[in-house]
Structure 1
Amino acid sequence: MSNVDLEKLIKDSVRSLKPYSIENIRSEVKLHANESPFPPTKELYDLFAASLKKFPLNRYPDPDSKNLKESIAKRLGTKVDHLVIGNGSDEIILLLLQVFCMEEDTIIIPDPTFAMYAIISQSLGIKTKNIPLNSNWDFNASLLLEAAEKNKSRLIFLSYPNNPTGNCFSEAEVRKVIEQFEGIVVLDEAYYDFSKKSFISEIKNHNNLVILRSFSKIGLAAMRVGFGVANPLIIQEINKVRLPYNSNMLSQSFAEHLVNNFQVVQKQIDFILKERGRLVDELEKINSITVFPTDSNFILFKTERSADELFTHLIYNGILVRNLSSHPKLHNCLRVTVGTINENDRFISEVKAYAMGDE
């Protein structure tokens, strides 16, 4: 019988990690994960079902996701050798860190931002330097660049729009970072479809720029498909550490159908944008609520009363949002994903009920 001291075998950088926290609470209305409230349309399901019959499921998938990359390249007006497909964009974050950073290196990230940049970095023994955002949830490029130089950083991650604040950073400040940083700038454009703001056209001018995109916000969260766009040399190096067959056959096919029939998805995006405006208007009518500007499919808001209490009230009434109030800069802040009309109506009704003390 073995009695190995397993704790001693675990890397220090992993032992000190806390798992990424996901609210896995049963609820009727899920407005916490920034997913689309709509499944793929029947049209897309039918296309997928027809192709499913042809899949040789006993065979490995295309290791290069060739058909999907060709569809994406055509839609973006880029070339296949500028693309890499990931098992979600999180995988590409991991691959970039593996390619460009050594243990004890330091990456630069704004604060607050997407938690996975720091979590994945720490798991690899890579440090993070957080640059606090100002009251408008923006950053000063000079301070960021100064920190990068001081820490001899090779990578800067910028979520654009930023999660969890929802806004796009100043275009001028982002451009300054891209132009002046002598390392890799990763712009995570997971929420691009709701902002239509992008630096993807700058890749031809800046060989240090990487753009990340995701299918998770536009209806395919369950399929876990993301992609990166970058200089071919960067893509070449990523492919050296990318695991073979990292994207399964079903995910590749469904994502390809979505790209080739994007007009169907665009109608859903347009609806989400319209509902986003309505949600903002309704929240702004509540005196105890402060709503922050958003370019995403979610809204960050602050309550004068306890965010923990409002969060609990919503759960009690079958509604799950994201409670961010444990972050020092997000005290009493909650994040709500734009849902269907009925979901949004229920959410607004319960927030108003709580604000009026009518519980």
Structure 2
Amino acid sequence: NENPYGCTPRVKEALFSCRYYHLYPDSEQRELRRALQEYVGVPASRLLVGAGSDELIDLVLRLFVDPGDRIINCVPTFGMYSFSAEVCGGKVVEVPRDENFEVDVSEVTAAIRDKDAKLVFLASPNNPSGNTTPERDVLRLLDTGVVVVLDEAYCEFSGETMVSLAKSYENLIILRTFSKWAGLAGLRVGYGVFPSQIMPHLMRIKTPYTVSIAAQIAAIESLRDMAYMQRTIQTIIAERQRLFTRLCGIKGLKPYPSKSNFLLCYVAGHRAPEFHGELLRRGISVRYFDTPRLRDCLRISVGKPEHTDALIAALEGIC
């Protein structure tokens, strides 16, 4: 799910001209957090930067979860929530999404109560389905009092965020990343909006120097060139719609509406593994998930127009 257009040229220029690679990076990422304060609209004191949102997921679990504690995971979703929870000794309670991959809020609230869960993980837009969770559903979960970890890794492609709720709810954590919209997946930099009272505890357990000088420079320059990045984002959104329309025109394929930079596509006749293999043989890589809910689906990243054209031609040849 990378950005096919890459980072802004300002990132490359800044990385080339930096003269401080021999020094350790700022372990508190102060300049980047000040820039994020302007971008997100949240005080820098509530922002924590990590080596991708994966590090922040791990930190949250280490802070809140003791061995045997339960977390709620709304499946199918991003695999790192359950992976990191199990590494920390947590027990993962899976609450299935419905046939349209919407969160069953009643089932989640029941699981929170019955399982005495410590955390709920929720991705919006969700990976791999691409749909967002309505604010009313997030509010219902927040009102239970459980800590809700809302992963907004793809929010730049949806235009939807619930960061304003962080001002009112001390049990809301929001995670984001520069990997997708900013084209910095290879540099590993993400950030989170956290309740004020847990920031000192997170800083105490966070390993210093995990966010390199290069990653901090690249993230800062991305935020300084939002006009360029917004053009790239809008280009990807437009191509997402074109890809959706083209997939709808192929018999046996049913793409799900997406607000991310990828599409989940149902393949009729249990042929998803076959399609996956045939596309690989043609030099096209899409994601196949060998899990019960997704065995008949492929996840397709939105690329450049020529990537869409090559994919459609290959799919038409397979069909």
Give the TM-score of the pair, scaled to structure 2: 0.97
- Which residue in 1 is equivalent to 2:286? 321
Aligned length: 317
In structure 1, what is the Cα distance between the partners aligned to 2:124 and 2:172?
13
C-alpha distance in structure 2 between counterparts of 1:205 and 1:254, whole Å? 31
Report what 1:10 is aligned to. Answer: none
- The one-letter amino acid paired with 2:265 is F
In the alignment, structure 1 residue 61 sits paired with structure 2 residue 25: yes
Question: In 2, distance between residues paired with 1:160 and 1:236?
Answer: 27
Preserved CA contact (<8 Å) 2:8 2:222: no
Gaps of 5+ in 1: 1-33
2:267 pairs with 1:303? yes
Among candidates 137, 150, 175, match of residue 212 of structure 1: 175
Provide the rounded CA distance (Å) in 2 between the counterparts of 1:203 and 1:214. Answer: 17
Name the SS for the 1:227 alignment partner. strand
Matches within 5 A, 1:332-347: 332-347=296-311
Asked if the contact 1:158/1:186 (under 8 Å) is kept, the reply is yes
CA offsets, 1:157-185, max 9 Å, x none? 0001110111002332122112x222210
TM-score when scaled to structure 1? 0.86
Q: Distance in 1 between matches of 2:30 and 2:164?
A: 22
> How much has 1:126 moved relative to structure 2?
0.5
Aligned to 1:189: 152
Counterpart position of 1:286: 250
Q: CA deviation at 1:44?
A: 3.1
Cα deviations by residue, 1:257-310 (Å, 9 ceiling, x for unpaired): 111111111111110000000000000011210111111000000111411110
Deviations 1:86-135 (A, max 9, x none): 10000000000011111000100101010110011111110100001111
Please tell me whether residue 171 in structure 1 is matched to residue 141 in structure 2.
no
Equivalent positions of 1:1-359 (< 5 A) are: 34-50=1-17, 52-53=18-19, 55=20, 57-178=21-142, 180-218=143-181, 219-305=183-269, 306-324=271-289, 326-355=290-319
Contact kept in structure 1, 2:39 and 2:223, CA below 8 Å: yes
Q: Conserved in 2, the CA contact under 8 Å of 1:138 and 1:170? A: no
Instruction: After superposition, give the CA deviation of every residue in 1:24-81 in whole Å (9 maximum; x if it has no partner).
Output: xxxxxxxxxx01001223333223323x13x1x3321101000000001011221111
Q: Aligned partners of 1:169 and 1:77: how far apart in 2?
A: 21
Distance in 2, matches of 1:166 and 1:243, equals 32
* Aligned residue type for 2:2: E
The answer to whether the 8 Å contact 1:211/1:228 transfers is: yes
1:181 and 1:99 mapped to 2: Cα distance? 20
Q: Name the SS of the counterpart of 2:293 in structure 1.
A: helix
Output the amino acid matched with 2:164. S
Secondary structure of 1:84 counterpart? strand
Q: CA deviation at 1:345?
A: 0.9
Aligned equivalents of 1:91 and 1:43: distance in 2?
26
Any conservation in 2 of the 1:297–1:338 contact (CA below 8 Å)?
yes
Q: Distance in 1 between matches of 2:134 and 2:44?
A: 30
For residue 203 of structure 1, what is the amino acid of its counterpart? Answer: A
Counterpart CA distance in 2 for 1:104 and 1:166 is: 31
Larger-Rg structure:
1
